[in-house]
Structure formats: structure tokens, C-alpha cells
Amino acid sequence: MAAAGGLGGPPEAAPTALQREPVYNWQATKGSLQERFAFLFTNELVSDVRFVVGKGGPWQPGGGGPPGPGQQRIPAHRFLLAAAMFNGGMATTSAKIELPDVEPAAFLALLRFLHSDEVQIGPETVLTTLYTAKKYAVPALEAHCVEFLTKHLRADNAFMLLTQARLFDEPQLASLCLDTIDKSTRDAISAK
């Protein structure tokens, strides 16, 4: 007669209750709501939408393939994004959303801000982050970007920032650029 485990193997435990792996309770390790949201930043855990951000190769609707070169797949959570970009006309039920006009680093800066109020911008990402914040109507992040640009305004970048300030409809920044150009005309003109 075969053992209780079948085929001569070790006996199995009596099926009195379902045996499951313990579920990791990540919420219990986070003391505040802000910590829990920060933990979910780009985390696949309970994510219900994926963004394919950046320009890349041909994307096939419904295709499950990897992102193309220059693209990045970013997991997100609808409940957190609802305040910024999934209300009204921006609402979507798709689980995969392609954003070819948004740079991955700028979108990650936007998500980080929405998850934790943390601002991570630098000289190489501030303009693309400003574009992304304006596109998705996140005025607090817009203000941080404009403040960063204002603090880093110099004669050698005043013309470039003036162009961007006008493009992004930031009249106060444009005015500061014009003042800088007026005060340091020679340096501004001789800049690259």
C-alpha cells in the first residue's frame, strides 16, 4: 500500500487548513502614509498601470514586448495618479499608456514628487520636468522647476532660458532673464 504522500514519498500533512506562504505586509513596516506612497514609487507591487515613456522603436498596440531603445517601462498606481492626470479628459482604462513626448527621467521626477513630495531635478532634467509638470497639471512641481531655473539664471544662459520661459509661458522668469541680459549684456551676447 502506498504511503500517505503517494508514490512512496513522505507522508503529507493532513489537509485541515489551506497552507499558504506568509503574505509580506509591507504597510506594517512604513510608519506614515508618505512612507507607504514613497515605497510604491516605481514598485511593481499592486501597480495597475504601466507607462512606456520616451521615444523609441515602433510600438504595437496590445504588444507585450519590451520597450524600444530610448524608452522606459514604468509601473504606477492609478489611485495615486488620479489627482494629477487621470481625471476628466485624461482618464483612461488602459493598463499600458505610451508617452513618447515625455523623457523617462522627467516622468520619474513627476512620479517621485506625486509619491513623496520629493523634488529631484538638476540642470539636465529641469526643462523636461517643467514640460511634464505643465502637461499633467502639477503646479507645485512647476513652481519648483521655475524656482530652480531662477536660482541658476546667469548671463551665459539668460538667452536660452528666455526662450524656454516664453515657450512655457512663464512671464516672471522671462522678465528676470531680460533683466539679467540688460545688466550683463556683453556676457550674455558672448555666451554660446
C-alpha dist (Å) from residue 119 to 129, 145, 162, 184: 10, 9, 23, 31
- The pLDDT tens digits of the residues spanning 100-157 come to 899 999 999 998 898 888 999 999 999 999 999 999 888 999 999 999 999 999 999 9
- The pLDDT tens digits of the residues spanning 83-103 come to 555 454 455 667 788 888 999
Distance of alpha carbon 110 from alpha carbon 48, whole angstroms: 18
Q: What's the whole-model pTM score?
A: 0.71
